[in-house]
A and B are shown apart, each in its own frame.
Chain A
Amino acid sequence: MEQGHIKITIDGKDIMAREGQSIVQAAREAGVYVPTLCDFKSLKPAGTCRVCSVKVNGKIQSGCTTEVSYGMKIENESPELINLRRGLVEMLFVEGNHMCPSCEKSGNCELQAIAYRYQMAVPRFPFSFPHRKVEAKLPHLLLEHNRCIQCLRCVRGVKAKDGHDIFGFIRRGHNIRITVDTTDPDSLSEVTAQKSNGYLPRRSFD
Chain B
Amino acid sequence: MSILDIDERILQLVEVCEFDKSPINDIKEISEGCDIGLIEGGCCNTENIRVLREFRKHCKILIAVGQCSITGGLPAMRNGIPIREIFEEVYYNGPTVANKLIPNDEEIPHILDRVYPCHEIVKIDYFLPGCAPRADLIWEALTALISGKDLSHLTYANFKYD
Contact = CB atoms under 8 A, between A and B. Distances in A.
Contacts of B80: 129-132
Interface string A110-125: 0010011001011000
B119 A122 contact: yes
B162 A100 contact: yes
Interface string B87-124: 00000000000000000000000000010010110001
A112 B80 CA distance: 23
A121 B118 CA distance: 13
Contact of B162 (A107, A122, A127, A130): A107
Given A99-B73, A99-B74, A101-B161, A129 B79 contact: yes
Contact of B161 (A112, A127, A132): A112
A129 B119 CA distance: 15
Interface of B: 64, 67, 70-74, 76-77, 79-81, 114, 117, 119-120, 124, 126-129, 131, 153-154, 156, 159-162
Contact of A116 (B124, B126, B153, B156): B156
Contacts of A101: 67, 73-74, 131, 161-162
Give the one of B79, B126, B156 with max A CB within 10 A. B79
A164 B160 CA distance: 40
B71 A121 contact: no
Interface in A82-103: 97, 99-103
Contacts of A97: 77
A130 B79 CA distance: 8
Interface string A21-62: 000000000000000000000000000000000000000000
A129 B76 contact: yes
- Contact-size category for A: 20 to 34
A121 B70 contact: yes
A177 to B, nearest CB: 15
Interface of A: 97, 99-103, 106-107, 112, 115-116, 119, 121-122, 126-127, 129-132
A100 B72 contact: no
Contacts of B119: 122
Nearest to A132: B80
Nearest to B71: A127
Given A106-B161, A112-B161, A116-B159, A99 B127 contact: no
A116 B120 CA distance: 22
